[in-house]
Chains A and B, each alone.
Chain A
Amino acid sequence: MKFITIDKKDWTKGIDNSRKTYQLFGPVKDEKNGCKITKLDTNVLPDMDYHESVLSAKSVLFPQTETILTTSLNESVEEHHVMKRAKNDYTPRAVLGIRPYDAKAIGLVKLNFDTKEYRDPYWCDAYEATTFIGLGITRPGPFDFSTSVGCGPFCEEGLDILLADLDDKYLAKVITPKGEAYAAACGFDTPADDKESQALFDILRKEAEKNISTSVDTLNLKEKNLLDLHEAPFWDDVAFACINCGTCTYVCPTCWCFDIQDEAKLKESARFRNWDTCMSPLFTRHATGHNPRGAKVQRVRQRFMHKLKYFLDKYDQGIMCVGCGRCVKSCPVNIDIRQVAHTMNTYEKKD
């Protein structure tokens, strides 16, 4: 771990240097819709001043549609009809300006995609190829409640480098060897005093955290009885407004569910996966037609129980939420996870 300073005059040149060995991802302004985190064309710089992106950075490792296997249906070709892994690009990539909560979310998603028994090769290969360069949030928005869930505007979890914006320069905390390699590829090497820099980071963090206006108490969730919560009477009220779209799950940096589809055109065939959403009745519909989550209220309950209870019980790594507030902002009917967490956290079963 070390600190370096990056003069903003050198920023563009450094980033361009790194393009020789890294494919870059970062925030890009959209004509209509804030910002999206996407692959950067060679002439595009990341928009480091963005204040929001409707979608999180999860698509860098987990694209909404990703080809995983391909095969040929042409019987004159060798090994026709044999599914082979798609030739996706896993050369080094770096994502610039990722929000600390998005980086933390990647750690939570990893618990699912990289376990002792199973390793999702597509996600894990992309993860291993990626260097995460985060930007501390100096002005958290009104939906940010990241400090309530073990994260925060300057949280380092999951990051290889954390940048702090100091107007004319960035102060960079290089956290991992991956981060060092990326800084070297850019040619950023002006050292900064460790002690002073850390002190500055601490001040910035405290200042930023002061601006976070909402908090959610989740401490009691662990000891709540799972079945009591499941059977609790408040779910009908929570679910009433829900229109069962997939917005909350698609904008969420920690939602990892996917659906697998096969498609063929002429003699070429591919299997790919798409983001799926537990809000859709299709998510659980069996081939028989039976659906264990056939009603809207069951699906709404599932989403919150998974995030705030099942995940917590299974992994003991906190709740499956990093407090970015995207679902709160984007939900068409304003269902607020902060309120639901509060309701669950304070629920007492009446005999």
Chain B
Amino acid sequence: MGNLLEHMGVERDRVHFSWISSAEATKFVDVVKEISEKVRALGPNKKFVKDYN
């Protein structure tokens, strides 16, 4: 899914996949931090966003 989105022109760093157990609190924090940084660096998404009349 990530590959096809990227192929269609949606930046790779907008879509993240992770497997985090409920016991892995620090991993969860790390992953969320990383995602936030990557998405912030890309700026607001304008693709696949529905413009409203």
B7 at the binding interface (Cβ < 8 Å):
no
Closest chain B residue to A269 by CB distance? B52
Taking the closest CB of chain A, its distance from the CB of B16, in whole angstroms, is 25
Count chain A residues whose beta carbon lies closer than 8 angstroms to a beta carbon of B: 7
B8-22 interface code vs A (CB 8 A; 1 in, 0 out): 000000000000000
Main SS of chain A's interface residues? strand
Instruction: Report Cα–Cα, A263/B52, bound state, in Å.
Output: 9
Taking the closest CB of chain A, its distance from the CB of B46, in whole angstroms, is 15
Taking the closest CB of chain A, its distance from the CB of B1, in whole angstroms, is 25
Instruction: Report Cα–Cα, A67/B51, bound state, in Å.
Output: 14
A265 at the binding interface (Cβ < 8 Å):
yes
Main SS of chain B's interface residues? loop
Q: Which residues of B contact A67 (CB under 8 A)?
A: 53
Instruction: Report Cα–Cα, A268/B52, bound state, in Å.
Output: 8
Taking the closest CB of chain B, its distance from the CB of A337, in whole angstroms, is 36
Closest chain A residue to B52 by CB distance? A265
B47 at the binding interface (Cβ < 8 Å):
no
Taking the closest CB of chain B, its distance from the CB of A248, in whole angstroms, is 29
Instruction: Report Cα–Cα, A70/B53, bound state, in Å.
Output: 10
B33 at the binding interface (Cβ < 8 Å):
no
Q: Which residues of A contact B50 (CB under 8 A)?
A: 265
Closest chain A residue to B50 by CB distance? A265
Q: Which residues of A contact B53 (CB under 8 A)?
A: 67, 70, 270
Q: Tell me the A residues contacting B by CB distance below 8 Å.
A: 67, 70, 263, 265-266, 268, 270
Other contacts beyond A263-B52, A266-B52: 7, CB < 8 A: A67-B53, A70-B53, A265-B50, A265-B52, A268-B52, A270-B52, A270-B53
A-B contact pairs, 9 of them (CB 8 A): A67-B53, A70-B53, A263-B52, A265-B50, A265-B52, A266-B52, A268-B52, A270-B52, A270-B53
